[in-house]
Chains A and B, each alone.
Chain A
């Protein structure tokens, strides 16, 4: 205890003199927006942190980079692979990232023209239809699974087509080789506009859920707690700025500046970014019950080992006022 206090004191006093170096693994997607805003608008710097962005090739690589010690923090979507790593004590969630929130539009359901012509025009008609995914255990898989549960039909293994990459998944729905996919924004709108497929609904309207999270290694929490606290504080400030500019009806005064920042990091253009912004909780709060539900669903579908305990996957002590706490 004394040791931690000494280390903390050293870190705090050090921050005044020099920036603490840290790093975050992430994908160049709009869902990572709070990190980009935090870096470019000086929120991390204000906490004495110099953050190195480590861009990964796939969502699966992000928690792996934390587990292997290549980065201190990570933000990405929550997958079966993530929970397996978390269950083995390699990563732990500390705050939220993107969320499919009722009333906000992010991922969309896209059906192929062929399926649409056959009458697949509503989100409650996916039973028995071929479904394009990146991988089994991906966020896309989970959404279809929960949708099936809610609508009371059975998602069969045989109707899933794991295509490994988003481009392959998009190509498959355009070519009519699968009936339905979820398209990340703004691709979904673009496909619909180009007549390459039909957008028939939004995920948030049917399966609101905690899509992504900010996480770190349990070891980092144990040994460098003040670092995690400062990081989360800065991240929250960035989330709040994002919320003020994008999620309050009319765009805020800095909206254009933030769009520029996000476009720069996602190698996109501000207009495209604007069309594909996710909902970010203004205080980076998690819907905790949803995390528990995700783990339960993954376990029920044998995607996550039965030994994984939801309580050890999330550390609620860094953000005050988390939502939907489990009883």
Chain B
């Protein structure tokens, strides 16, 4: 399923957060959106999934959703957004309970999602008993359990430490490989962008516009191999050059503001 954003603009009071953004994420493609802090990339993601009403512009999807899809546009949140009073299983099941499924269908789906994210043995555990990485795996399991057509990931690894981040990136890649899900991934981390994106879209500082787009040709599963190390370093350096000035001015703006 394609995700098409056209002419998107948004204001918070007097502040123009997004000026005018046109962006299409093709079916099965992963687009990583990077930009300095405050550039409106999270706002854009909120608009993309219908959680925020855009000031102007249209959001559309096109194409067929996968079989059994219950929630075409599905988020993964930076702060996990787990219900502390529900177990891992209960948090994953939350996404299904208001859909007309039989109890066994529901149980199967939950079990499959837990298996996919390696959470089976933690099914009856409460979130507070889990590490950050495991909590975000619950967030992932809750997202995949509805068989989404498009994943909207809002800095999903930013709250995690570097090692956990590596492990989860590998998990994400494995899931995408299997499910062929379209994904719009917001981050400020250049390494994540280089590792996960088919395309990387760089946004300017506020008011946010698309400054540049970089396609990455290397197959995603192979990018951490030693022979691609130089190419990856070059990629990250190019991204940094694109973003450096924006980040410098944005930093000062935030400090001034």
Touch between A and B in complex, CB under 8 Å? no
Q: Which positions in A face B, CB cutoff 8 Å?
A: none
